[in-house]
Amino acid sequence: MALYLIGDIQGCDDALQQLLDTIAFSPSRDTLFVLGDLVNRGPHSERVLRRLMGYGAAAQCLLGNHDLHLLAVACGGRTLHRKDTLDAVLQARDRDAMLHWLQRQAMALHLQAHGRELLMVHAGVLPAWSAADTLSLANEVCAALQSPDARDFFHAMSGNNPNHWSPELRGEARLRVIVNALTRMRFCTAQGEMEFQTKEGAAAAPAGYMPWFDVPHRATEGVAVAFGHWSTLGWLGHDNLYCLDSGCVWGGALSALKLDAQLAPVGHELIQVQCVAQQQPG
C-alpha cells in the first residue's frame, strides 16, 4: 500500500491520468490525498471530479478556493469569472452528483503513525492554531457547507475581513476567517494578520509579513504540514513542510509525493509530469 500527496489539479485530467500511470496507482491498494483545487482554469474539471469520485475511499480530497468557488456559483452565491472553466460541470447531466460529492470533501486532513503527524490543508495554517485547532475549525466549515443553510454560507463566504483570527469571532466572520486561512493565505504577520493580494513567491513578502510557515514558534511547528495553492512558491520539501502546487494549469507540472508507513517521503523524491499551459495566471 502506498500513500501519495498530490498538488493542485485544477481540471487538468490528462496530466492527472499521466501522473497516476507514472506511479502505477491502484485504488484497491493505494490512497491519494489531493490537496485542494481539483477544478477550474484547466479544461476538464468534470473528468477530474468523476475520476476521483470513482476511486471512493482511495481518494481523500481537500477543498480549495476554486472548489468552494464552484460550489458557490452552483447555488447562486457567486457569479462565474471571465477565466473560469466550470461550464462542463455546471451543465453536466450528473452535475448534482458531482456537486454533492464535492460539498462533502474535507477542509483539513490529519494522519498519525509511529509517533509522526501529518496535517494537510489547501493553503495554510494560522500561527496560533495547533493541528487539533485546525481540524476542529475545519470541521466547523464542513458543517456549514453541509447544512440546510449552505446557500447563506456561500453568500457570506467572500471577503478579506476580518483578516486575523480571534476565538471570540462568531457566525459569518468566524467562518470567513477559517476559510481564508485554509484556502487563500500565503503571507501573514507574526500576530496572524493575513494578506491576500501578493501572489508571488516567498521573497515577495510585503513589509511586515512573511510566509505563514516562517512565523516563529507557530503552533504547528512540530507537525509535518502539506499544502498546495502557492504555484509561485513551487515545490517545497524540507523542515516538515511540503508544498505540492507546481503550477500544472499554468504550464508547470503536476506533482505527487510518495509517503512510507511512517508518513515520511520515500526517498524524498518528487514525482512530476509536465502539463500544457491552458491559461496565463490571473
pLDDT tens by residue, 89-100:
999 999 999 999
Q: How many degrees, rounded to 5, is the angle at CA 181 between CA 177 and CA 183?
A: 115
pLDDT of residue 190: 97
pLDDT of residue 245: 97
When pLDDT is cut at 50, 70 and 90, the band that residue 282 belongs to is very low
Question: Which residue segments constitute the domains of the chain, with CATH numbers given?
Answer: 3-274 (3.60.21.10)
pLDDT in tens, 15-33: 999 999 999 999 999 999 9
Mean pLDDT, residues 201-215 taken together: 97
- Edge-first strand order for the sheet with 194-195 is 194-195, 187-188, 210-211
Cell 494549469, residue located: 249
Q: Please check the confidence at residue 268 and state whether its pLDDT lies above 70.
A: no
pLDDT in tens, 49-66: 999 999 999 999 999 999
When pLDDT is cut at 50, 70 and 90, the band that residue 279 belongs to is very low
Buried b (16+ CB within 10 A) or exposed e, 232-259: bbbbbbeebebbbbbbbbbebbbbbbbb
